[in-house]
Amino acid sequence: MTQPGNKDAKSGRIVKALSGYYYVRPFDAPPGAADIQCRGRGIFKKRGESPLVGDVVEFEETENGEGAVNALMSRSTELIRPPVANVDLAVLVFSVTEPALNLQLLDKFLVHIEHAGIDAILCLSKQDLAENGEESAEAEQAMNEVVRIYEPIGYEVLVTSSKRGAGTSALKERLQGHLAVFAGQSGVGKSSLLNALVPGLTLETNEISNRLGRGKHTTRHVELIDIGGGFVADTPGFSQLDFAELGIEELGSCFKEMRALSSSCKFRGCTHIHEPECAVLAALANGEIAPSRHANYVLFMAEMKEKKRRY
């Protein structure tokens, strides 16, 4: 990262990147002030650096009403897909139904978030669908299953309904002081949830396609949404999750409950699949680890080995 140099320069955060421009919000900007449209200095390209949405930067305004980003401050985190810097909280949005809750996909998201070193909370949307109609029993069961499996591991679970506004004030309070990313399966209501969080925000939303059973992507670029006291990155990223950035030996550490037990395994580098005196397998047998979590871990491990074999 480049270091601050110009004593007359200002500091701010990149809140949007679009068509080669970086839109910087100065830290001292009054509420409602326009963001500064900036170009990045050529020095970034020479150093192989690239400013990202979420970056804290040093910039200066130029004579044409635009600005130039001169320096990037050190990042606490950096996501590759979606490309966002300094995210410190991930809100994984999954609907209780329409589309049906998919624990395998939820665990895959959690693996990526844990690998990135970011705290995660699980947000169950469309609570209203659990209270009436034919699918209410199925949705109620899905909600209870998530609470039963993930709260004991240490994940916070929030239940919301954008239509009724239920749970949105608790979520907004939880987001205060954070730069969060909303992630989740397409069609789960991420944009609707953000619209409910921020009065006047009109993010494009799409109804679920009955034919496909999933939603169409409604977000086209990464942008930080100011929710008052915090930011949320509304992003099209995380739609195609793979394990390209993750080593096989790192997978177990991305499952919180396995990470806590691994030091008690007999063998160093235990895969938690077949080894004798494995603390994880013992906990699984005793009902202390959810079978779905371990089954997904085994599935992800096989997927990673297959990918490695092919390449």
Q: Do the annotations mark residue 256 as ligand-binding?
A: no
Predicted TM-score of the model (pTM): 0.81
- How confident is the model at residue 211, as a pLDDT? 35
Cα distance between residue 180 and residue 225, in whole Å:
10
Q: Do the annotations mark residue 161 as ligand-binding?
A: no
Contact 57, 71 (CB under 8 A): yes
Q: Do the annotations mark residue 7 as ligand-binding?
A: no
- How confident is the model at residue 130, as a pLDDT? 53
Q: Which domain, by its residues, includes 279?
A: 248-310
Query: Are residues 92 and 228 part of one domain?
Result: yes
| Residue 5, domain member (yes or no) | no
Query: Are residues 101 and 65 part of one domain?
Result: no
- How confident is the model at residue 270, as a pLDDT? 93
- How confident is the model at residue 215, as a pLDDT? 41
Query: Are residues 36 and 98 part of one domain?
Result: no
Contact 75, 116 (CB under 8 A): no
Which regions of the chain are under pLDDT 70? 1-8, 98, 126-135, 161-165, 188-189, 202-220, 234-242, 244, 310-311
Q: Do the annotations mark residue 192 as ligand-binding?
A: yes
Give the CATH number, domain containing residue 206: 3.40.50.300
Q: Do the annotations mark residue 191 as ligand-binding?
A: yes
| Residue 68, domain member (yes or no) | yes
Q: Do the annotations mark residue 184 as ligand-binding?
A: yes
Q: Do the annotations mark residue 272 as ligand-binding?
A: yes
Q: Do the annotations mark residue 48 as ligand-binding?
A: no
Q: Do the annotations mark residue 104 as ligand-binding?
A: no
Query: Are residues 278 and 214 part of one domain?
Result: no
Q: Do the annotations mark residue 253 as ligand-binding?
A: no
At 184-209, the pLDDT tens digits run 777 766 777 787 788 777 555 443 33
Query: Are residues 57 and 89 part of one domain?
Result: no
At 64-77, the pLDDT tens digits run 888 999 999 999 99
| Residue 243, domain member (yes or no) | no
Query: Are residues 96 and 70 part of one domain?
Result: no
Cα distance between residue 15 and residue 36, in whole Å:
10
| Residue 24, domain member (yes or no) | yes
- How confident is the model at residue 206, as a pLDDT? 44
- How confident is the model at residue 42, as a pLDDT? 80
Query: Are residues 169 and 290 part of one domain?
Result: no
Give the CATH number, domain containing residue 41: 2.40.50.140
Cα distance between residue 29 and residue 227, in whole Å:
16
Query: Are residues 142 and 192 part of one domain?
Result: yes
Q: Do the annotations mark residue 50 as ligand-binding?
A: no
Q: Do the annotations mark residue 126 as ligand-binding?
A: yes
Give the CATH number, domain containing residue 268: 1.10.40.50
Total domain count for the chain?
Answer: 3
| Residue 240, domain member (yes or no) | no
Query: Are residues 22 and 45 part of one domain?
Result: yes
Q: Do the annotations mark residue 221 as ligand-binding?
A: no
Which are the contacts of 106, defined by CB distance < 8 A and separation ≥ 6? 92, 94, 122, 146
